[in-house]
């Protein structure tokens, strides 16, 4: 059985599966911390099933070689064999169950964490009236950042799914004795963007920044508009 869901639902899903007396191999492929993965493993094995920890890196595997499914735990090799010949590349990690989740957290800490950070930076620069100057400086010294900072527009409709993932990553840092504030802030960025979940098309960057700026207007700023258009809807 494969569990692939928003990370804040992972423990609840495992609990429901355990309640059904499932006795096969349960693969948790959710973006959770090692601590959460280990807790799920204890829950599953206490119910009589075997547990494999998984972490997916990459887009939906439409093409060969784009997506890796990392696996750890006693039956990881057996699960890997099930995907032999498919477009999904499976990689068995050394170490106990929880290692795959630790790798996923480390990877997404940069990819999704950086997207949130750059969105916040663009918002700050606009708030301070220096966005054009920032973009000009980026062209000189960091030419890749302008395009990278606009990626949040394409990802905004997924932001609601990443709130829990950022919180799990923050927990991973904290369990290692590292500050988790970076990714708790990223969770807040994605929480502010969660209203784009049902938008029919990706919002413009200006819309994203407008949502990000709610509650942080300058005292001399113009009053906020009473409505905002998201996709084809006004909210």
Assess whether 20 and 87 both reside in one domain. yes
Assess whether 188 and 73 both reside in one domain. no
Residues of the chain with pLDDT under 50: 215-235
Predicted pLDDT at 218: 42
Of the chain, the percentage scoring pLDDT greater than 70 comes to: 91
Assess whether 230 and 145 both reside in one domain. yes
Domain that holds residue 7: 2-95
- Mean pLDDT of the chain, nearest integer: 92
pLDDT digits (tens, 9 = 90+) for 69-83: 999 999 999 999 999
Assess whether 116 and 84 both reside in one domain. no
| Total domain count, the chain | 2
pLDDT digits (tens, 9 = 90+) for 206-233: 999 999 988 444 444 444 343 343 443 4
Phi, psi of 227 (to 5 degrees): -140, 160
Assess whether 6 and 108 both reside in one domain. no
CATH of the domain at 27: 3.40.50.720
Assess whether 66 and 106 both reside in one domain. no
Please check whether residue 65 is in contact with residue 42, taking contact to mean a CB–CB distance below 8 angstroms: no
Assess whether 137 and 201 both reside in one domain. yes
Domain boundary among 58, 78, 95: 95
Predicted pLDDT at 214: 81
Assess whether 132 and 224 both reside in one domain. yes
pTM of the model: 0.87
Domain boundary among 95, 114, 144: 95
Predicted pLDDT at 223: 43
Residue 71's alpha-carbon distances to 48, 51, 54, 79, 227, in angstroms, are 20, 11, 5, 8, 46
Domain boundary among 95, 114, 141: 95
């Amino acid at each position: 059985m494969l569990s692939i869901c928003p990370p804040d639902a992972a423990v609840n899903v495992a609990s429901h599966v355990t309640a059904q007396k499932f006795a096969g191999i349960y693969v948790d492929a959710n973006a959770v911390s090692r601590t959460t993965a280990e807790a799920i493993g204890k829950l599953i094995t206490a119910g009589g099933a075997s547990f494999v920890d998984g972490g997916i890196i990459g887009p939906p595997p439409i093409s060969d070689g784009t997506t890796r499914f990392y696996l750890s735990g006693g039956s990881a090799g057996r699960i890997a064999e099930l995907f032999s010949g498919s477009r999904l590349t499976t990689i068995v990690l050394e170490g106990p169950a929880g290692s795959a989740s630790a790798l996923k957290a480390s990877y997404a800490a940069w990819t999704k964490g950086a997207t949130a950070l750059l969105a916040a930076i663009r918002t700050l620069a606009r708030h301070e009236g220096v966005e054009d100057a920032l973009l000009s400086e980026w062209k000189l010294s960091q030419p890749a950042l302008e395009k990278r900072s606009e990626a949040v527009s394409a990802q905004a409709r997924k932001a609601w799914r990443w709130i829990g993932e950022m919180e799990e990553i923050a927990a991973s840092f904290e369990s290692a004795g590292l500050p988790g504030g970076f990714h708790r802030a990223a969770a807040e960025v994605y929480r502010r963007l969660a209203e784009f979940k049902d938008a029919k098309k990706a919002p413009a960057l200006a819309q994203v920044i407008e949502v990000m700026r709610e509650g942080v207007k300058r005292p001399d700023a113009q009053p906020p508009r009473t409505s905002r258009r998201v996709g084809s809807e006004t909210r």
